[in-house]
A and B are shown apart, each in its own frame.
Chain A
């Protein structure tokens, strides 16, 4: 959808400005026939060309690429593919058309889908908590034991008519003591729920995070500016080995970790509440720990790899990502996240820890598994850990026929893996030339449940999608 909407938006804005297609093509330095292909969605567009067209049309890249609408489409595709909420007749490929024709309905449906998913996750988390939380387990056991004693004692007083006075007084005293103890346990339990984060808080953080990625442009821009402003000071401090340096007192060992710790220590409030956006919805969300972490990441990235310098090195290295990582002291995550922030491109980014658990998913979220889903085991990100610091390139095709390029690299020290996914139609030739093109794209899925590839050797569980229908759609 990204490509089709970009072409459509270019055409609509050009017409609104009464500009001829050939004139726009001339101004941005391409042929009219190529501009025609772009507007008719036959060619992808990214990078400098997208930026130039945006400047000529007076539209930002974010408006042209429709970041918010891409999020909306991702949500609807998630909904269509979900085995419990979706329906086999919902074709993910028509999500873009649905948004175009019924934007209000589409937004409402996506909102309901997100809330329902959050509610299900909350219920599952509560269930887990009731089962495994040691305090709750002990408190519930104590309450049941006291209730058992209370019931048994009360029944004695009721059912034994000839009970002696001494026994009666003793059991009545027991009832009083048990009631008092039950009240104390109940109060402690209520206090415990009040004092701790509820699972709802934690779960809604995932959706809040993704909402913020879509809507928090001003905050990211501020974090970028802050990082760039601090860059000279940060570089000087991270280069220093002086034990008096405040940065070295942080627990993080590497430059990036030290830079992030420094910004967190001195500039956190500034990041959370930039003066330009005080009081808006995104500013409130910026205080959420997950979002604060994201903004700190961005500021640290910008401090150690200011975008102009990064872009220059990227061109100089001819998109050779390992060379770029070496230039940035082996900070793979830093390089991959800077690619994600590169204006004019639309990457998806996945970051997993040493156990393969997803730590973050940013950028183009389509085709990426939800946090609580297990990703397809065929993806490059899992293979990268076998060969740390070596780039693993993969051309992949999803069951719907969508092609992507994956580049993954693993950190040799932490065994964390990073993966960028890119739409080949939007990537420059220098980048594509590094991908082995002779091979056919490897069939992959998002998760096993939603994947229609019947003969996959890595399948963990049977698919819930209709293999025949999916094959027809992909064929």
Chain B
């Protein structure tokens, strides 16, 4: 039997690692064909990081595509935060998850093998 070693769950410097996203679960009454929703993303890693936004249907699997933002990739120095505005199609009622996902870490923006993702419920009710 030939044995090779392999690593999993690499590679972020030790410490407290996190990113946060607020607000958490929310329900908004909407009337028009689209609605703007604001989320605040904070990089609590001890290195710069790039995050990407992702919208999913309520099954948390199906990608929801009817949205726009100037900030689909969010570059944040360590310890900083940014407000992200999403323009979401509300021609019909939506039950979605809005997720921010760690994409790259470090000054060289290398891929992260341990990917943190925070998902908040968003109910756009008509």
A and B physically associate = no
| Residues in chain B within 8 A of chain A (CB atoms) | none
